[in-house]
Amino acid sequence: MTNKLRYFVANWKMFGHLNSVNSLNKVINFKKKNKKTKNLKIIYCPPFTLIHPFIQKLKNTSIMTGAQNCSFTSKYGPPTGSINAKMIKSLKCEYVILGHSEKRAKGEKDNIINKKIISALKCKLKVIFCIGETSIQKKRRLTKKILLSQIIRGLKKVKNKKNILIAYEPVWSIGSGVIPKIEDLENTTNYLKLFLSNKMKFKNPKVLYGGSVSPKNISILKKITNLDGFLIGGASQNSDKLIDIIKKTFN
């Protein structure tokens, strides 16, 4: 475990203001001083309003910055309030989260997510592609069917997969404090990796887990050795909690 590269994606959601940038100091210092940090990648995904300040704060560190979403087109146009991948990349941003369940819940379909992924990759952004099933789908034992459908449709016509991370986030787990059973999560992760390798032609698929990740349950989640990291929501907004999650992962 300690020799494995792990990703820690801090999804700040709709949180933070300009002074919040100073809270990164603890994580920056931790990353510099801790010997085990060479085996991890920390990626902050703040709201659009904080991307530039984050990049300025982190420019002399190994910590990276991502966006939480982007438009399905990289062209400039009239959609008020929209931001495309070209604009995000111009800030020297490196990642973007796409397909998040909160966007899907508001009606975002697989075909739109597919266009966003293609646009982001075209603009040289790395994609954190979220997939996940609802509680009803889980109860009906449709988890694998739903996940494969989301992957196939979301990655339609995407040939180069090397800049895509898959984030498995069960919709029923997000914000609930409830995480999947260890054996279920391990089986799902194995299943996804085999499918990504054999059917989707990923050379070295990376699968992250997202859904109520916290310092309280990370000791359980880290037992899933085939996971490549975590997509962390509310807990990542607190530097002490994020550091605690990272420490417990590698201890």
pLDDT digit string (tens) for the chain, length 251 residues? 445 789 999 999 999 999 999 999 999 999 999 877 788 999 999 999 999 999 999 999 999 999 999 999 999 999 999 999 999 999 999 999 999 999 999 999 999 999 999 999 999 999 999 999 999 999 999 999 999 999 999 999 999 999 999 999 999 998 888 899 999 999 999 999 999 999 999 999 999 999 999 999 999 999 998 999 999 999 999 999 999 999 999 88
- Packed helices 239-250 and 24-33: angle between N→C axes, nearest 10 degrees: 30
28-84 tens-digit pLDDT: 999 999 877 788 999 999 999 999 999 999 999 999 999 999 999 999 999 999 999
Token couple for 220: 């359980």
Provide the pLDDT for residue 3. 59
DSSP 79-131: -TT---HHHHHHTT--EEEES-HHHHTTT--HHHHHHHHHHHHHTT-EEEEEE
Quote the pLDDT of residue 176: 85
Rounded Cα gap, residues 53 and 40, in angstroms:
23
Cross-strand bridge partners of residue 6: 40
Quote the DSSP letter at residue 68.
S
Set 52, 169, 183, 186: catalytic member: 169
Contact 163, 200 (CB under 8 A): no
- Active-site residue, from 100, 102, 108, 133: 100
Q: Is 186 a catalytic residue?
A: no
Paired strand residues for 141: none
3-state secondary structure of 48: helix
Q: What per-residue confidence (pLDDT) applies to 1?
A: 42
Neighbours of 99 (CB within 10 A): 26
- Classify residue 201 as left (phi > 0), alpha (psi -120 to 50) or beta: left
Nearest one of 137, 165, 136, 139 to 149, comparing CA atoms: 137
> Where do we find the tokens 């359980």?
220
Known catalytic membership, residue 52: no
Cα–Cα distance between 128 and 43 in angstroms, integer? Answer: 11
Cα distance between residue 132 and residue 145, in whole Å: 11
Domains with residue ranges and CATH for the chain: 6-250 (3.20.20.70)
